[in-house]
Amino acid sequence: MAYPIISRLGGVALITGAASGMGRAVAQTFAKAGSQIVLVDRDPTGLEKTITEYGIDRKQSIVATIDVRDDTAVEELVTKIIPDKFGRLDFAVNAAGITGKGGLTIADESVENIDNVLSINLRSQIMFNRAQARVMLLPKDPLDAFTSQPDSQVTYKASDCPPFRGAIINFSSLAGFRTAPNFASYSISKHGVIGLTKVMATGFGPKGIRTNAVAPGAVDTPMLKEYPGMETLASYVPARRVAHPQEVANLVMFLCSPWSSYVNGETVVIDGGWAAGA
């Protein structure tokens, strides 16, 4: 069964947007899987709650209260602090994001809002992806989950493909496939994440790094609750409810695991069937 393998991934996992919502669920799930955790967010109170809710071992973690738009801080964290403490990076989940100010077309949005949304949702993911790939390629011992699970692996010659070096998961959105005219810059940024994911997959797949993205629909997070009327979204979903953050975290863990060893460059929609009726 998949669960025993996913539940003992180990390694080192970096999660941005770890202070709430889907990022928090992902961080806590990696902790359950025996991974050492790097928690990234600009909200120290939220990060503290992520740690205390599950009892994450602080000695086996890095807590980085940074703005993901700060290139210097991102580079320092990923390429220096993480290697110095753990000597490796195996998984990276880039969940930090904002919707920005909605209700306006692209012609009416302020340039400030456009820049803010694109810098957090897309540019920061580009900068994180670049740094994450470089560190994943540093010399390191293979993870047991990827070498000692014969029931999870297809038999093939080791020389046929590169060994597993890492998995990067970017966060797009259903809005990355369907335009959202009143959240224009948000929709543009999420389309861009899909492009970034493909570029990373083709560029680093031959080196053993798989890059995929998830595209959630409506998820019960603080960001969803910021906008009046969002509670009606469930009526558009065949599942007749919004997703729980843990359901998205489960998908992320699958995409990081040996069970998805041939999945690379994909953006996986998780929306309860919402897009199926579009």
Q: How far apart, in whole angstroms, are the C-alpha atoms of residue 100 and residue 142?
A: 40
Q: What residues contact residue 66 under an 8 Å CB cut-off, 6+ apart?
A: 40, 42, 73, 74, 77
Determine whether 143 is exposed, middle or buried from the number of CB atoms within 10 Å of its CB (0-12, 13-18, 19+): buried
* Candidate CATH numbers 3.40.50.920, 3.40.50.720, 3.40.50.2300, 3.10.20.600; the one for domain 5-270: 3.40.50.720
Give the start-to-end residue ranges of the domains of the chain.
5-270
> C-alpha distances in angstroms, 256 versus 39, 46, 133, 167, 190?
17, 24, 14, 5, 21
Distance of CA 161 to the CA centre of its chain: 25
* pLDDT at position 274: 86
Q: Give the global pTM.
A: 0.93
Exactly one of 156, 186, 227, 236 is catalytic; name it.
186
Q: For the segment 140-174, what is each residue's pLDDT rounded down to a tens digit? A: 999 999 986 555 556 666 567 899 999 999 999 99
Long-range contacts made by residues 222-229, C-beta under 8 angstroms, separation at least 24? 222/20, 222/21, 223/21, 223/97, 223/98, 223/99, 226/99, 227/99, 227/102
E-strand ranges in 162-278 read 166-171, 209-216, 267-270
| Known catalytic membership, residue 262 | no
Q: For the segment 3-51, what is each residue's pLDDT rounded down to a tens digit? A: 555 678 999 999 999 999 999 999 999 999 999 999 999 999 999 999 9
* Residue in the block written with tokens 């807590």: 63
* Residue in the block written with tokens 């120290």: 44
Tokens of 152: 């999870």
